[in-house]
Amino acid sequence: MQRVILLTLILLSAALPPGAAAAPDVTLEFWTISLQPFFTDYVNGMIATYERTHPGIRIRWVDVQFAAIEQKLLASLAGRVAPDVVNLNTEMAIRLAEQGVLVDMDAAVPAAEKKRFFEGLWNSVRYRGRNYGLPWYVAPNVLAYNAGLYRRAGLDPLAPPATEDKLIAHAKTIKDKTNVYGFMPNVDTIRMLHRFQENGLAILSADGKRAVFNSPAHVAYLAKYVQLLKRDYFPEDTLRRGFLGATERYSAGQLGILTTGPQFLLRVKQDNPDVYAQTLVAPYPMGKGKTIHLPTMAVTIPKTSKNVKVAVEFGLFVTNDRNQLQFGKLTVVLPSTRAAAANPFFKQSGATAEDKARKIAAAELPFARDLTVVVPQAADLYRVFREAIESAFFGKMTPQEALDWAVKQWNARL
């Protein structure tokens, strides 16, 4: 009788359809950008849920600081020890897609899954007509400002600047009246490309084959900020340290106005509760183009993964409606899926600065899009642009000479 039962079990096992047997042990390495310590519990909880519902699969989470993520990833790819799933911003993802090291998500993701995302966000990590990342979360810039410094400068804290020109005027007044820098504008590295576009100034010709960012309007815009730096209306480290330096100065009470993704309010809250208590928030002052750069965080899959199919499935889990909604409730970012973004939570107001920033950011979405310039040899072209901008700011070239040189270099490569 026992032999009959054993034979029956063997036959049943042989008849099981493919995939019905217990999944083999798989370990995925998952890298994120600067989510610890604020979201440690959230990520660990999300991973625990996935592992509980996917027996045999284990997730090893590694959190990497923003400044180190790209170099660390490149080194791991060269050594063929790269993570299976990695969080990148649009600019980094495009550079890696150009090198051919990321999985094509248009091919790997079922059509029904693609439809969950906003079309514009699904296309944000697109290179040569193919998408190389799952949109995760977005954070339109908002304006955070120190009401105490506003009052010291004789400005009305209840009347924040509604335009870029007004923002500059307020920043100058704060510096003149308090001897504290009013702002650190987002003009470092390649972010001037975003500022141009926010002011309705094109970067490429309509056919994408020529750079056109040396027109009189482009030159005048750059020259305006060069003069502000020369007159000491923002510090030189703006060009070296960008938003991280701005957040640190603001948290220390040494900056009047911060234009940043609203999630950075949580860092201000942790670093200096007194400054946080003085912080008010307002919509991002739009330029003449009436559009706002919308940085997109994506989940990408390196081709070197030994478990690409499982990695894609985990990436879709991280970015599903439920997890994006839960993440949005914990921080001041917005989801990339239609269902999560439609939740009434994102229309609610609240008493805290981050609650108000979340509502403001949600209202900005109709004006926001990812303005990352997608070009061949992006890393090289971005380096050229960065060198040109810094040459103008530090007096090595005039704004006209700097942009003419950069356009010539770009056109030789496009």
Take residue 383 and report the two structure tokens written for it. Answer: 């380096």
Tell whether the model's pLDDT for residue 17 goes beyond 70: no
| Dist. CA 168–CA 153, nearest whole Å | 14
Q: Band the pLDDT of 9: cuts 50, 70, 90.
A: very low
Residue whose pair of structure tokens reads 């440690």 in the numeric block = 40
Query: Confidence band (pLDDT; 50, 70, 90) for 6?
Result: very low
Yes or no: say if 148 and 124 are a contact pair by the CB < 8 Å rule: no
pLDDT at 210: 97
Residue 7's pLDDT is 39
Highest mean pLDDT out of 80-89, 235-244, 265-274 = 80-89
Block residue for tokens 């217990």: 22
Q: How high is the pLDDT of residue 387?
A: 97
- Spatial separation of the C-alpha atoms in residues 59 and 327, rounded to whole Å: 18
> pLDDT tier at 15 (50, 70, 90 boundaries)?
very low
Q: What is the pLDDT of residues 118-170, one digit of tens each?
A: 887 898 888 888 999 999 998 888 999 999 999 999 999 999 999 999 999 99
Dist. CA 280–CA 130, nearest whole Å: 41
**Mean pLDDT, range 257-279, rounded to an integer:** 90
Compute the average pLDDT of residues 76-99: 93
pLDDT in the model for residue 398: 98
CA distance 305 to 198: 38
The Cα–Cα gap between 348 and 338 comes to 17
Distances (CA, A) of 124 to 93, 296, 379, 410: 10, 7, 17, 22
Whether residue 24 is predicted with pLDDT greater than 70 in this model: the reply is no
Q: Residues 362-405: pLDDT tens digits?
A: 888 778 788 889 888 888 999 999 999 999 999 999 999 999 99
- Go through the domains of the chain in sequence order and give each one's CATH number: 23-139+295-368 (3.40.190.10), 142-293+371-413 (3.40.190.10)
Check pLDDT > 80 for residue 71: yes
69 or 24, which is more confident:
69
Residue 86, CA distances (Å) to 44, 162, 302 in order: 16, 37, 8
Residue 19 has what pLDDT? 39
Residue 295 has pLDDT above 60, yes or no: yes
| Three-class SS of the chain | CHHHHHHHHHHHHHHCCCCCCCCCCEEEEEEEECCCCCCHHHHHHHHHHHHHHCCCEEEEEEEECHHHHHHHHHHHHHCCCCCCEEEEEHHHHHHHHHCCCECCHHHHCCHHHHCCECHHHHHHHEECCEECCEEEEECCCEEEEEHHHHHHCCCCCCCCCCEHHHHHHHHHHHHHHHCCCCCCCCCCCCHHHHHHHHCCCCCECCCCCCECCCCHHHHHHHHHHHHHHHCCCCCCCHHHHHHHHHHHHHHCCCCCEEEECHHHHHHHHHHCHHHHHCEEEEECCECCCCCEECCEEEEECECCCCCHHHHHHHHHHHCCHHHHHHHHHHCCCEECEHHHHCCHHHHCCCCCHHHHHHHHHHHHHHHEECCCCCCCCHHHHHHHHHHHHHHHHCCCCCHHHHHHHHHHHHHHHC
What confidence score (pLDDT) does residue 20 get?
Answer: 39
Tokens of 281: 């928030």
3-class SS letters over 99-168: CCCECCHHHHCCHHHHCCECHHHHHHHEECCEECCEEEEECCCEEEEEHHHHHHCCCCCCCCCCEHHHHH
- Is 261 within 8 Å of 119 (Cβ atoms)? no
Report yes or no: 282 and 302 within 8 Å, Cβ to Cβ: no
Tokens 């400068």, residue located: 153
Query: pLDDT exceeding 90 applies to what percent of the chain?
Result: 69
pLDDT in the model for residue 193:
96
**Mean pLDDT, the chain, integer:** 90
Q: Which two tokens stand for residue 367?
A: 């004006």
pLDDT of residue 128: 87
Q: How far apart are CA 269 and CA 292, in angstroms?
A: 25
Query: Is residue 255 within 8 Å of residue 174, measured between CB atoms?
Result: no
Which carries the bigger pLDDT value, residue 290 or residue 322? 322
Question: Which CA distances in Å does 364 have to 290, 291, 369, 411?
Answer: 11, 9, 10, 34
| Pairing verdict, β 142-146 and 279-283 | antiparallel
